[in-house]
Amino acid sequence: MAKFELKLPKMGESVAEATITNWLKKVGETIAADEAVLEIATDKVDSEVPSEVSGTLVEILFQVDDVVKVGQTIAIIETEGGALETPKVADVAAPIVAAVEKTIEVAKETVATADFSTSDKFFSPLVKNIAKEEGVSIAELESISGSGKEGRVTKEDIIKYVGSRKLGTGSQPSQPTTHNPQPKTSKAQPVSVNGGDEIVEMDRMRKLISGYMMASVQTSAHVQSFIEVDVTNIVKWRDKVKTAFEKREGEKLTYTPIFMEAVAKAIKDFPGMNISVDGDYIIKRKNINLGMAAALPNGNLIVPVIKNADQLNLVGMAKAVNDLGNRAKLGKLKPDDTQGGTYTVTNVGTFGSVFGTPIINQPQVGILALGAIRKVPAVIETPEGDFIGIRQKMFLSHSYDHRVVDGALGGSFVKRVAEYLEAFDANREY
């Protein structure tokens, strides 16, 4: 018999750790190759970890709610064979070394700080290290409402707390503010509950979404521009080619890839929308990676990313949109699928909304909402004069960060998207 070390696999360049949310197998149970052993969660997406071998699970090294670094051994599987089997060292060595070095560095800096042993509550070493590094006192740590098992404070809980605290006590403007003090953050009022009400705790993803949305509103100066677009040519073209497109390409042709294509072109024309803000610095993004907001079956929201969207033709865009959308619905997105977005598009028209005012997906500086396509009476200009006709129209709603995007850029960008859509060639080949 041999033993195989099941390690947390690499899940993308930007993902260094994950939280264990559920063990699908118990010690002593048989596991087939490629069978899921446990479920994990990053800050954006949930996924499963499959076994690379067949055998019997003999040891579990981490429990639910534990945070595990990429490359760490999480379980031992007994297999038929010789010596201990492990994945290639090159796949896991770098993340482990980096994690250890960071832990040592934090430990050196915080060894003389607060002693959490005086608390009666249990806090994981990771939570303690974050608390020490951010100067969170024992009293503050004990006051945090934990979302983990038995009310334990998880990594996400303390990071959200620290982020909220920083936003509430952020640096003030350099000019005098004696006569214009910053507004105080008011505490939420307690909610009255009667006997007929039901209290349901938010799930992990909803808590994360809540934190992201509040942080975005408090970080970016949101402003909106709206524009109405005539998409009659697009509707006619899609109706004409969608059956042949699906037969030839094996993909359904929705409106989304057409809109994404226009957005990618407009970003190339206005690269000032493809930036991020880091303190007092602006980061100009080289790649155009379009986030595509998608509703999940449980009502939550996720934003998979189409990488290098400007390099895709319409067929490639359709395949990317369908692939990410389908895997989002099935819960099969990989952590790296939601990383690296530089601009986001959300389709509020899916639910019948004419337009909306979406919240920016940080650290991006803009997000475009696509409204519902409607038949409306419109003035049509011709050489023979104007007349009223029925046209297919929709609204585009552009939210952008007024700290770095002024009205001229924000308005010009969404106008350019509209121009690309209205100039769509109804006779084009796909």
2: tokens are 């041999």
Q: Are 114 and 128 in contact (CB under 8 A)?
A: no
Active-site residue, selected from the candidate residues 66, 91, 222, 402: 402
Q: What span, in angstroms and rounded, lies between the C-alpha atoms of 1 and 80?
A: 5
Is residue 402 part of the annotated active site? The answer reads yes
Active-site residue, selected from the candidate residues 34, 115, 203, 406: 406
Is residue 120 part of the annotated active site? The answer reads no
229: tokens are 């677009």
Output 266-270 pairs: Cβ under 8 A, ≥24 positions apart: 266/413, 266/414, 266/416, 266/417, 266/420, 267/310, 267/342, 267/343, 267/413, 268/310, 269/413, 269/416, 270/409, 270/412, 270/413, 270/416
Catalytic positions, please? 402, 406
